[in-house]
């Protein structure tokens, strides 16, 4: 079952109290979306699994720093994002992250928010995703996988809100163009 509940009650408070069952439920809820996000950024299965594991361990250690329990998902993805940055730095791929786009988007009219993709377009979608610059790919994944708000994405990636808007705008425009050309 791939459907992820939108408004489920997460046992964050119990996890803060150190209950293993609560952690198990939280990790089960986020393990696949987290892996998708990390894998699509690092493009290596073993590295992605390592980062997911490190993210889980870091979450266990630093759960006390989480102030708003409702933002557990964003907080967890923020840890994973930082782990990805560390991985890139270790592999000297930080230059990719400096691929900054225009700070002020000329036009943020992205059309309908929901993007639907036909079966025959799925391969092109995945190819496009891989071709996107890392910053755009990161924002688009967070938007698609967990439907984070722009503010949450800005917090996760520690990027100004305007930059997030710009990146999402260009990524979505490229995606639509690809899908329309098919």
Partner 1 sequence: MNTPREILLRQHQAALPKLDAIRAGVVAAIVRPPAPEPISWLQMARSLRWHLAAWGAAWVVVMIFNTDHSPGAVAMIPRDKIPAPQQIWASLRESRRLLLELTDAPVAEPFAAPVRRSEIEPQQLVV
Q: Give dist(CA 128, CA 123) in Å, integer.
A: 9
Residue with tokens 């990805």: 84
| Interface pick for partner 1 out of 109, 119, 180, 181 (rule CB under 8 A) | 119
Angle at 138 between CA 57 and CA 56, to 5 degrees: 10
Site string for partner 1, 16-55 (x = CB under 8 A): -xxxx--xx--xx--xxx-xx--xx----x--xx--xx--
For the record, the structure tokens of 162 come out as: 């305007």
Choose between 141 and 156: whose C-beta lies nearer to partner 1: 141
Residue closer to partner 1 (CB basis): 48 or 154: 48
CA 12 distance to own-chain centroid = 20
Choice between 4 and 97, CB closer to partner 1: 4
Element holding 168 (H helix, E strand): helix 161-181
Residue 115 and residue 172 in contact, taking contact as beta carbons nearer than 8 Å: yes
What residues contact residue 63 under an 8 Å CB cut-off, 6+ apart?
Answer: 15, 16
Assess 88 for contact with partner 1 (CB under 8 A): no
Minimal distance in Å, beta carbon 104 to partner 1? 26
Least distance between partner 1 and beta carbon 36 (Å): 5
Which of these segments, 6-14, 99-107, 110-118, 131-139, binds partner 1 (CB under 8 A)? 110-118
Q: Which of residues 53-82 bind partner 1 (CB under 8 A)?
A: 53, 56-57, 60
Binders of partner 1 among residues 137 to 176 (CB under 8 A) are 141, 144-145, 147
Question: What is the rounded (10 degree) CA torsion for 125, 131, 136, 140?
Answer: 20
Tell me phi and psi for residue 19, to 5 degrees.
Answer: -80, 120
Q: Is residue 114 involved in binding partner 1 (CB under 8 A)?
A: yes
- Binding stretches for partner 1 (CB under 8 A): 2, 4, 17-20, 23-24, 27-28, 31-33, 35-36, 39-40, 45, 48-49, 52-53, 56-57, 60, 114-119, 122, 125-126, 141, 144-145, 147
């Amino acid at each position: 079952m791939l459907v992820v509940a939108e408004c489920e009650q997460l046992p964050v408070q119990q996890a803060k109290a150190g209950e293993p069952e609560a952690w198990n439920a939280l990790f089960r809820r986020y393990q696949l979306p987290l892996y998708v996000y990390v894998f699509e950024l690092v493009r290596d299965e073993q590295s992605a699994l390592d980062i997911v594991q490190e993210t889980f361990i870091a979450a266990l250690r630093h759960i006390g720093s989480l102030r708003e329990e409702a933002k557990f998902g964003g907080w967890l993805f923020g840890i994973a994002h930082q782990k990805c940055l560390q991985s890139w730095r270790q592999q000297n791929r930080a230059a990719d992250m400096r691929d900054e786009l225009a700070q002020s988007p000329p036009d943020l009219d992205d059309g309908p928010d929901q993007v639907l993709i036909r079966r025959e377009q799925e391969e092109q979608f995945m190819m496009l995703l891989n071709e996107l610059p890392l910053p755009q790919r990161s924002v688009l994944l967070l938007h698609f996988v967990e439907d984070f708000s722009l503010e949450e994405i800005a917090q996760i990636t520690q990027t100004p809100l305007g930059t997030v808007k710009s990146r999402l705008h260009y990524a979505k425009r490229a995606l639509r163009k690809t899908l329309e050309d098919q």
